Structure 1
C-alpha cells in the first residue's frame, strides 16, 4: 500500500534525444512507494517535444518553460507552478529507486532543514574508465568518495536529486536564471541555490545516502577529453559563483577538497600502484593531477575575463 506525501516532482527536459530516458524517469517518479502530489515535466523551448510529452504522458502535468532557455529557468517554471509544501527535482536521464522520495523527505520533520539531496549512482553505458578515481566521480554527475555515508548535514546537494521547502525556494526566487547549464556552459547553479537559501533562511541541507537514483553516463561522457572539459568548466564556474556570494561566505568545502581529499587520493593510488595492486592506480593518481590543473586553468581564465570586463566597465 502506497503512502502520500505533500511533495511534487519536477523533471526538466529539452531534447528528443533523451525521450527514452525521460520516459524511464517519469515512470520511476510515478512508481514511488510514497505517492507524489504531482509529477511535472517542463520542456525547455521545444514545441515539438512539448506536444509529444503532453500527448503521451498520462497523470503528469506538462509545461513549457516560461523563463529564459536553460536548466535554471526550466526548473523554476515547474517549481513555481507547484503548490505542495515540498518540491523535488530529478534530471531527465535518471531513474529513481522506489524509496527515493520517501527517504529524501524524512529529514524534513526537523523545521530547520530547508533541503535535502540523495545518493546518485552511475549507470555506465559500457564500463567505468579505469583511470577515473572515486574522488572525481562528480565529473560524470554522481556521488563521489568523501561524501557522507550516513544521513548528515551538508553544505549543498545536486539538482539531479534534490528536495526543498517551497517557501524557502520562493523566498530566494529559485535558481539563478542565466547561471547554470546551457549548451557548453556548465555552472554550479544547484550549489549557488543551496548557499543562497541557507544564507537567507538560516536553515541547512541534509544528505540522505539511502535515497538513491541512477544517473546515465553515456559513452561520450566517459572520455578523458570530456573529463578535462568538465574540470575546466568547474573551475570557471566556481570562480563565477564566488563573485556572487557575500564576502563572508567562503568556499570552504572546495578548499578542504583540494587540500585534503585530492592529495589523499594521489597518495593512496600511488601506494597501491607501487604495491602492485594494479597499474590503473598510477593512472588515477595522474588523473587527479590533471583535474586540478584543468580546474585551475579554468579558474584563471574566468578570473582574467572578470578583470577585463571590470576594466572595460570602468572606462
Structure 2
C-alpha cells in the first residue's frame, strides 16, 4: 500500500509539473508579451523595460521557467491586478468560503443521490425509478446560474424563508478559527452564528449540488443494477442471508467503486460551478474572485486559481485511488 501511494504521488507530481509548463507557456504567449498585459496602455518604454527586468523576461527561457517554478513552490503568484494584494493572500482569504460551499453541496448530492439511486435500481420500472431518472435528466439540463437565481427569487425574495446573499447576516459578530463559518460557530460555542451561517449556506449549496446530485443518482442506479445481477449476489440470497447484509456487504460495497470515482471528479468540478453560484448569492468565495479576475483580465489571479484547483484535483484523485483498496480487497491484491 505504501509503495502504491508513493507511486501515485510521483505520477501526480509529474502531472502538476506538466501543468506548470502549460501555464508558463500560456503566460509567455500573451499577445504583446506579459508586460503589455500587466501595464496600462499608456505605460512608457522605461516602465516596460523595468517590468521586464523585474520579471526576468530577458533571461533564457529555462532560467525563466526555473524562477517561475520556484515562485510556485513558494506560493508566490504575484499581485492581483484588481486589488493590488498578493494573489496567495486573496486565495487564502476566500478559499474557506468555497470549500465550505463545495462540501455542503457534495454532502447534499451524496446524501440524497446514493440512497435515491439505490432505491431507483431496486424499484426498477416503477414510478420511483421513472421519477428519479427524469429528475436526474432535468438536474443536468438546468444551468446552475438559472437555478440559483430561481431559488433566490422564490425562497428568499418571495417567501422570505432564507437569506438572499452573503455568508452571514449584516453586523453578525463571530470568531474566525478555520474560515468555515458553520464549523467555527460550533467550535467556539457561538451556535447562533453557526445557525445563521447554515441558513445562508442552504440555497447556494442546493444550487451547486444540482448537477452532482443528478450524476450520482444515475451512476448509483447503473452500478447497483450491474452488481445485483452478479452470481455472488444471487448466491448470497440463495443462502438465506439477511437483506441488510446482502445490501451492505455484497451490493453497495462493490457498487461504490464507480461511485467513488465520480464523487472525486465532481468534487473538483464544484469549484467551476462555484464561480456562478457565488456570484448570484454574493457569497464572497474564490468563485466571485475568479469571476472578477476573468472580466478584468487579471492573469496572476487566474494563474493562481488554476494551480490551486489542480492541486485539489490531484489530492482528491489520490484519496479516491486509495479508497479503492478499502472498498474492494481485490484492488489491494492487484497493487
TM-score normalised to structure 1 length: 0.27
Question: Which protein has the bigger strand share?
Answer: 1
Question: Which protein has the bigger helix share?
Answer: 2
Structure number with greater CO (CA < 8 Å, separation at least 6) is: 2
